[in-house]
Every structure is written in structure tokens, then in C-alpha cells.
Structure 1
Amino acid sequence: MLIAASALLILFAWFAGPRRFAEAVLLTRSALDPVFDLTKAGGLEDMGVGAAVNLSVLVVAAACVVTRPRVSPAPAFVLWLPLLLVCLVSWRFAPDPGAAFRLLMLLTTHAAFCLLAFYLVRDRADLRRFLLVIVAGSIVPTLYAVLQLAMGWAVFGEDGTRVYSSFPHPNIYAFYLMTILAVVLTLLAGATSGARAANGFRLSPRLRRALVLYVPVLLGLILLTKTRSAWAGAGLILLTHGLLFDRRTLLYFLGLPVALLAVPEFAERLADLQQGNTMDAYEKLNSYAFRMLLWQGAMTWFWERPLFGWGLSSFGHYVAQFFPLPLENDTIDSHSVYVQFLFETGLIGLLAYLWLYARTLALIARLITRGERWAWMLLAMTAGYLSMAYSDNMLYYLVPTWYMWFVLGGACALLVQRRAVRRQPVPLPA
């Protein structure tokens, strides 16, 4: 099934072209996890049609590098190669080579999606089109989330009602919603700051109204995921848009007290952090106190191998040996990207990961200084991601990370295209 599905997808990309392939993935991938789960081969994690999509993304990205020599992949390579090389070396001494290889391939697909944007986004009109495709792709998950709530299907374990739509976990859906919120506000910021200028996105009045009306829907769903880090990230994105582009966006903050009063579960979610901070029993620990205990145990092992760590994807392999509380199946993920990189790849890996985002933020900042004020929203989106990476397993959140990196890669591609235009020789008069 994996080979057949991969072949079909690659053939589609061959005949339709990488642009149509990327548009199809961006338009549909966010709603397909439930379908892909049905196609996984028994016992082999991620070996279904979803893995075929991942493989086809890698093949299409590699084909773009080979067949389009006029577009330099160097900017994307500068971003991603340090991290991927560190992970490749770390995979060689990982205690579980299979799990390490899956994580390495996952990170490679993130890089491939970023690389695709450099080949497909040639100007601001291209970026606008792809941003609208990403927003359009969120409609089906939004409708499914509404159906979940209406039918009472949004009960997630012991946490009560937590909407998760077509995603396997509410936290993953929350980050996806935060990304879509940032994309919507980026389009609105571009239309606000440059509707008549060269640096804006062209949006019809009807489309602008639709995007404005979509914002409260996204915010309501983010609240219903009950993911506190996503609440903070969405708040930062709203604050950035309100202060820099449209003060009316700040009015959404006035609705927060109303939401806390109308839905006591929201207030309870915040109050949960004020209790359960002791280690009397696992059930009494709140989620943040549990994470802190987990990270403290990991750091005791980190100092034994501070430079190169214990091997890629080794945290779950060793966690039962340094964590003092019982764990289901004797394993658990790190719940922090930074702790995971420190433990698995050492300081070298963490620095490579931080380089990736520092370089990206520098490119986005340069875009802002050259008149693209809407890029402030991408800075806010990236800051929101990095804040969520502190307390969640963001490396494994495939779909929303793909969308985020395509947007960031597309924005950086604009900067590269500007440089290419400036370097073109000016023709001499006849």
C-alpha cells in the first residue's frame, strides 16, 4: 500500500506539477489523519498512506532541486542542514534506530516543505494564493469540530470536553488553529497596510469580510481545545495585530473574562496550575508540575553527555530509568522540544535547532525593514510556536508544522527573489 500510494502521488506531482501538488497537500492534509489511520499496516507505525504523502513530499522537493537549477536551494539548506546533520549523526548511536529514523524523516519532511516554498513562491501574489489555500484547507476541520461539539463527540479522556477535530490530540489541533489564525491575520494585515501600495495583499471586500468573521470562530475553537500554551500564543498574535494594524482586534481580549465566567471549565483549566504542585502521588500533580519533575530527571542524565546527548529519539527509551513515578508502558515523551534536544543531541543539537529559528527570524525581520509590515504576524506566529515548544512535543506535530514552515519559507522566498532581481544585469541601451 505504501509503495502504491507513493507511486500514485509522485505520478500526480509529475503530471500536475509541484505547484498543484503542494496546493493539493495544503488543501487536504489537515483533514486526512482519520482516513490515514485506517490505512496503517498492523503494528507498523505511520506505514500507511500518510507515510506515502511524506515520501512524496521528499521526492517532489528533491525533484525541484534537480530540475530547477535557476532557483538556489542554498537559503533553505543554510537553515536546515545544521540540524539535520546533527540528527543524522545522533541517529547512528541511538538506542532505538527505528524510532530515531522515523524522527529524522519527520524533521526532513519539515525541511522539504520549507524548501518547496522557495521554489513555488516567486512573488507576493504567489504567497497570497498559498495563504488563501491554507485558510481554505481549514474549513473541513472547522466544520468537523463544530459537528464534534454538536454531537457530543468532543470528550477527550479525563479532560472532559476538548475539541480536537480531525487531529489525534487537542494540543495538535490547537497549534494548527494558532497557525491558521496567524495566516488569516497576516492576510488582513497585508490588506490593511498595503491595500493600495505595492507591499500589500490584494483582497476583495467580500473576502476581507469573510476573513474577519472567521477570526472569532478560530478563537472560540482555540479556547475549546483547552490548550493553555495555545491560548498564550493566540493572545500574542492578537496583540501584535491589534497594536500594529487594527486596534479593534484588541476588543477580543474583552471577551476573555466573559468566556471564563460563561464556561467554568476554562477557569478551572487555569486554576489547575495553582494546585497539585506536590509529589505525593501522580494523580495530584498538575500537568506543569509533572513536566518539571520529568525535566529535572532528564537533566540529571544530560550532564553525563552534555555535548552530543544519548542519541536521537532516546528520551522515551531511557525515561523509565530516571523518572521517579510509574509510567504507562514505561515510556513518555519529553513534553519539551528544548529538553528533548538537550537530552538526545546535547548542546550541539539544541544550538542547531536554535540556529534554525534565529536565522528565520532574522530573515523575517529583514523583510519587515524592507516594507513588508505584514511579516510582523509571522514573527508573532513563530514566537507562539517557540513558546509552545517549551512545554509540548511540537516535533511530532507533523501537519501544523508543515503549514507553518511553508508560510515561513514562502516569506523568506520573497526576500531571496528581491535579491535576485537586484542582481540581474541592467541591459545597455542599443
Structure 2
Amino acid sequence: MNSVWQQVTLATLPLQQWRQVSYVYRIVGSLQNWRNGSWLMQHGDAIAALLISLVFALSPFVATNLIGVLLSACILFWILLTVSDTDKRAGLTPIHLLVMLFWSISATAAALSPLKRAAFTGFGKLSLYLMFFILAARVFRSPKLRSFCITIFLHVALVVSGYGIHQAIYGADSLATWVDPESPLAQSTRVYSFLGNPNLLAGYLMPAIWLSFSAIFMWKHRVPKILAIVMFGINTACLLLTQSRGSWVGLMVSALVMLVLLRYWWSPILPQFWRKWGLILAFGGLAGALVLGYLFVTPFRYRIASMFVGSRDSSNAFRLNVWRAVIMMIRDRPILGFGPGDLVFKQIYPLYSQARFSGLSAYSVLLEITVESGLIGLTAFLWLLTTIFSQGYYQLRRVRDLGDREGFWLMGAIATVVGMFVHGSVDTVLYRPEVSVLWWMSIALIASFYVPQAATSQSSQTPEWVEER
């Protein structure tokens, strides 16, 4: 059974042998001599890290068109790095293969779309994100560059969440109807910071929360650790103040995942009592905090209760109407969908909608993928997610056995992917550039730890951090 699972998740795939016989892969390193003679390209990965950091630094504050320009610059530089690469052995992982499969299916869906021009525009946007993932996965293989990019992102996120806290204290104008006007919370402030939308802000803060939590363990010395604790607290508080119900559920599920990962990480040094009761007590404490919040925090109670009133809540009613129309769209083109991109959706959706409101997307990443690339695309996406979590587990086991504290970044990335996926299952945030780049950044973090499983089985020594204790 374990062997079948490894084959399904491509854990035992001989990528090294494929690289040796692949004609496509032969272009890698074709300009290697030029790179060896270029002072600038000898620092190519560091320059790529600066470009990635620039995307993180500007994306919350600039128009989406400029984000596209920055992503295009990243891709052009990735091409330059690839054709002049000095190491042909690194870079390709099972996650990359599934990403390329998903990209190929989306290309086919665009080619067969009834709205080809709009579909290829959407496919171009998707390609920007996927190639950004490839560049980030390459850069993050370096622990120093990985830490540098994450640090830049966390400092920018602190500014974003700090302004959100400011809005909660001093008030902010609602730029849209984000709360049911008949709700007791109709006049409450849902913070949105620089992103202009509370749900979008919540999606942006999910990776900031878990990477700042990881930074508590990763950053050395007292002052950086205190800063990481402050970041974690402010990011979490700001996400809660968005009153985004989907992100609250995502945060809770990702917190449970993080607790399980921490239990696994520390299992070699935990006393028997904590090995047996640690997770139970932690889950109980989390459940107790949720109950207390429901009983004593009025906004939290009303927002949680609104999840279970069906169409009596205007936000629920809107999503239910959209989902009904989307299911009818899927029934008409179930195999490869209508083609990728919001432009296609906006033109097709009115033909199926029975409500007076237009829909920007399917408000669910699973339904959106099915509409865009059909059940084939959905299958590829679920296969990709399965491989991501499988590889995350394999590599976490490897770095734990090696005593490599970089594993805390890996745990933060896994928790982030879980939280963003849960949130994206009931919202449209994963298709917004400010959040999409962070989604693929988190996947790139997991992919950057890849070492073939044959190599992981060779590390069975006692972790260094166990000996230190």
C-alpha cells in the first residue's frame, strides 16, 4: 500500500534518469560558459531573490498591472538563469511535474474554449504565477536566500497588518457592502488595510501568520524573536478583525495542522506524558478559546452563527446563487470547462445566473478550476495538492532526522497551504494577484526542500537538537 502511495505522489520517480535522456532538459546550462564569465550572472540567484522580494514589497500597495510587470521580469530572469545554469541536477521535483501537468491541461482548455481570446488572456495570467513558483522554488533552495525573502515579506506584512489595526481603532470607511445590512454588525468595522477588501486582506495575512510563527523558532537572538512574536500577534489580530469567516475557518484548521506538525517535530524529545496527552490538551485549549470567543465576543458570535443560517444571510445567499449557476456551467462542459481566467467567467456566468447580481468568479477554488478546465483540471489540481502534502511530510521527516531547524519554515509553509486552501474553498481570494503570489510562494517553499526519497532514507542519526537538550 505504501509503495502504491509513493508511486501516486511520484515520490520514487527517477527524475535524475529522466533529465539525462530528456531533449527539452538539454537547454539547461547551454549558456553555462557565458555565465561563468559574467560577474553579474555569478550572483544570479541573489538577483532573483531581490526580484522576488520586490514582488512581496510592492504587491499590497500597487495596481495589479504593475504586479504583472514584476512577475514578467521574474520570468525573464528565470529563463536567463535556466539556460546558463551551472547545476543541471537540481530544481526538478514531483511538485514541478504536477504543476506542469496542470499548466498543460489549462492550455488545452484555453485552446478548446468557446472564448479563445479571453481564455488565453487568463492562461497567460496563470502562466505568470506558475513560472513565479518555479523561480521561487529555485531561489528558496538556498537557506540564506529563503530566509531573506521571507524576512522581507514578513516586514511588509507587518506594515499591512499594522495599518489594519489602526483602522480597527480609529475606524475606516466601508468601500463595499461586506456585512449583511440587516445584521447587528452592519455598522461594525471590517478592516481591509491597503488591499481594499477584508477577505483579500485575510487571505494575504494567512502566510504572514504562520511564517511569523515559524520565525519565532528560526530567528536567532532575543530581539528578533520578540519581533517575530509581535508579528505573529499583530497578524493574527488583524486577520480576526477582518471578520472573514472563511479565513477564520482556515486559520483554525491550519492551527490544528501546525499543532500536529509540532508534535511530530518534537516527538523524539517529548516526555511520555506530552507524547500521549499533548495534542489532546492543545486541541482542548483551542476548542476552549473558540467557545469563550463565541460566548463573550459579540462580533465573533454573530459571524460564526451566520455561517449556519443559509440564505438568510446576504453573503451566504449570494454564494449559494453563484454556486448553483456554476454547477450548471460545469454540467454543460464537464471535461475541460470553458477555459481559464476571470474574463471567460464574466462572459459565461450571466447566461446561467438567475440572480440580479453578477459574479466575479465561482467563489470556490475547486469550483473555479472545474469551470475553467473541467473535471480533468480538477483531478490534476487535487493530485498536485496530494503531492504537495506528501512531499511536505517526506521532507519534514528528513530535516527532522538531520536536526535542521529550517524545518520550521517547512511547517509554516504546510500550515499556510492548508489555511489558504480552506479559505479559498469558499472565497475568491486565491485568484487575486496579491494573494496568488503568496499561495505559489508557499508551495515553492515546500518544493525547495525536495531531496529524492532514496536520499531521505539514509539519514537515521540522532538529531543534533536532541543531543543539545
Q: 1:1-47 CA distances to partner (integer Å, 9 max, x unpaired)?
A: xxxxxxxxxxxx9797442443354366355444x33xxxxxxxx5x
Q: 1:67-115 CA distances to partner (integer Å, 9 max, x unpaired)?
A: 2151444325413111111111211233444442332223222222221
Tell me how far 1:290 sits from its aligned partner: 3.1
CA distance in 1, matches of 2:436, 2:392: 17
- Report if aligned partners of 2:119, 2:340 keep a CA contact under 8 Å in 1: yes
CA distance in 1, matches of 2:189, 2:173: 5
Tell me how far 1:364 sits from its aligned partner: 0.6
- Report if aligned partners of 1:79, 1:355 keep a CA contact under 8 Å in 2: yes
The 1:405–1:300 alpha-carbon spacing in structure 2 relative to 1, beyond 3 Å, is: closer
The 1:29–1:98 alpha-carbon spacing in structure 2 relative to 1, beyond 3 Å, is: farther
Query: Which residue, 371, 389, 393 being the options, matches 1:361?
Result: 389
Q: 1:258-279 CA distances to partner (integer Å, 9 max, x unpaired)?
A: 65566523322222233353xx
2:339 is the alignment partner of 1:327: no
3-state SS of paired residue (2:332): coil
Counterpart of 2:337 in structure 1 is: 309
CA distance in 1, matches of 2:298, 2:58: 30
Counterpart of 1:273 in structure 2 is: 307
The 1:233–1:58 alpha-carbon spacing in structure 2 relative to 1, beyond 3 Å, is: same
Q: How does 1:127-206 map to 2 (within 5 A)?
A: 127-153=146-172, 155-158=174-177, 159=179, 160-188=188-216, 191=217, 201=218, 203-206=220-223
- Report if aligned partners of 1:241, 1:249 keep a CA contact under 8 Å in 2: no
CA distance in 2, matches of 1:312, 1:225: 29
CA distance in 1, matches of 2:204, 2:385: 19
- Report if aligned partners of 2:52, 2:74 keep a CA contact under 8 Å in 1: no
Counterpart of 1:383 in structure 2 is: 418
Tell me how far 1:349 sits from its aligned partner: 1.0
2:306 is the alignment partner of 1:287: no
Deviates more, 1:129-138 or 1:148-157: 148-157
The 1:20–1:168 alpha-carbon spacing in structure 2 relative to 1, beyond 3 Å, is: farther
What count of residue pairs does the alignment treat as equivalent? Answer: 382
The 1:389–1:142 alpha-carbon spacing in structure 2 relative to 1, beyond 3 Å, is: closer
The 1:154–1:97 alpha-carbon spacing in structure 2 relative to 1, beyond 3 Å, is: farther
- Report if aligned partners of 1:134, 1:403 keep a CA contact under 8 Å in 2: no
CA distance in 2, matches of 1:119, 1:172: 27
- Report if aligned partners of 2:191, 2:241 keep a CA contact under 8 Å in 1: yes
CA distance in 2, matches of 1:141, 1:249: 30
Question: 1:140 corresponds to which letter in structure 2?
Answer: V
Question: 1:326 corresponds to which letter in structure 2?
Answer: R
Counterpart of 1:4 in structure 2 is: none
CA distance in 1, matches of 2:223, 2:236: 21
Counterpart of 1:280 in structure 2 is: none
Tell me how far 1:245 sits from its aligned partner: 3.5
CA distance in 1, matches of 2:338, 2:254: 36
CA distance in 2, matches of 1:325, 1:295: 11
- Report if aligned partners of 2:247, 2:423 keep a CA contact under 8 Å in 1: yes
Tell me how far 1:234 sits from its aligned partner: 1.5
Query: Which residue, 235, 244, 256 being the options, matches 2:252?
Result: 235
CA distance in 1, matches of 2:243, 2:75: 34
The 1:156–1:223 alpha-carbon spacing in structure 2 relative to 1, beyond 3 Å, is: farther
The 1:29–1:325 alpha-carbon spacing in structure 2 relative to 1, beyond 3 Å, is: same
Deviates more, 1:63-72 or 1:85-94: 63-72
Tell me how far 1:257 sits from its aligned partner: 5.2
Q: How does 1:64-79 map to 2 (within 5 A)?
A: 64-71=81-88, 72-75=90-93, 77-79=96-98
2:126 is the alignment partner of 1:107: yes
The 1:305–1:154 alpha-carbon spacing in structure 2 relative to 1, beyond 3 Å, is: same
The 1:120–1:419 alpha-carbon spacing in structure 2 relative to 1, beyond 3 Å, is: farther
Tell me how far 1:219 sits from its aligned partner: 1.4
Identity among equivalent pairs (%) = 20
3-state SS of paired residue (1:207): helix
3-state SS of paired residue (1:166): helix
Question: 1:273 corresponds to which letter in structure 2?
Answer: M
- Report if aligned partners of 2:162, 2:234 keep a CA contact under 8 Å in 1: no
- Report if aligned partners of 1:95, 1:317 keep a CA contact under 8 Å in 2: no
3-state SS of paired residue (1:302): helix
2:26 is the alignment partner of 1:26: no
CA distance in 2, matches of 1:285, 1:100: 33
Question: 2:439 corresponds to which letter in structure 1?
Answer: M
Counterpart of 2:433 in structure 1 is: 398
- Report if aligned partners of 1:312, 1:344 keep a CA contact under 8 Å in 2: yes
The 1:204–1:105 alpha-carbon spacing in structure 2 relative to 1, beyond 3 Å, is: farther
CA distance in 1, matches of 2:259, 2:387: 26
The 1:114–1:145 alpha-carbon spacing in structure 2 relative to 1, beyond 3 Å, is: same
CA distance in 2, matches of 1:422, 1:241: 24
Question: 2:172 corresponds to which letter in structure 1?
Answer: W
Q: 1:219-256 CA distances to partner (integer Å, 9 max, x unpaired)?
A: 11011111111111212233344455487987676555
Question: 2:298 corresponds to which letter in structure 1?
Answer: P
CA distance in 1, matches of 2:259, 2:456: 34
Tell me how far 1:174 sits from its aligned partner: 0.5
CA distance in 1, matches of 2:146, 2:132: 14
The 1:79–1:31 alpha-carbon spacing in structure 2 relative to 1, beyond 3 Å, is: same
Which consecutive unaligned segments of at least 5 residues does structure 1 have? Answer: 1-12, 38-45, 192-200, 278-283, 424-430
CA distance in 2, matches of 1:24, 1:249: 40
2:106 is the alignment partner of 1:87: yes
Question: 2:141 corresponds to which letter in structure 1?
Answer: R
The 1:383–1:243 alpha-carbon spacing in structure 2 relative to 1, beyond 3 Å, is: closer
TM-score (norm 2): 0.72
Tell me how far 1:166 sits from its aligned partner: 1.6
Counterpart of 1:195 in structure 2 is: none
3-state SS of paired residue (1:155): coil
CA distance in 2, matches of 1:21, 1:369: 29
The 1:14–1:120 alpha-carbon spacing in structure 2 relative to 1, beyond 3 Å, is: same
Tell me how far 1:377 sits from its aligned partner: 3.7
Question: 1:408 corresponds to which letter in structure 2?
Answer: I
Deviates more, 1:93-102 or 1:107-116: 93-102
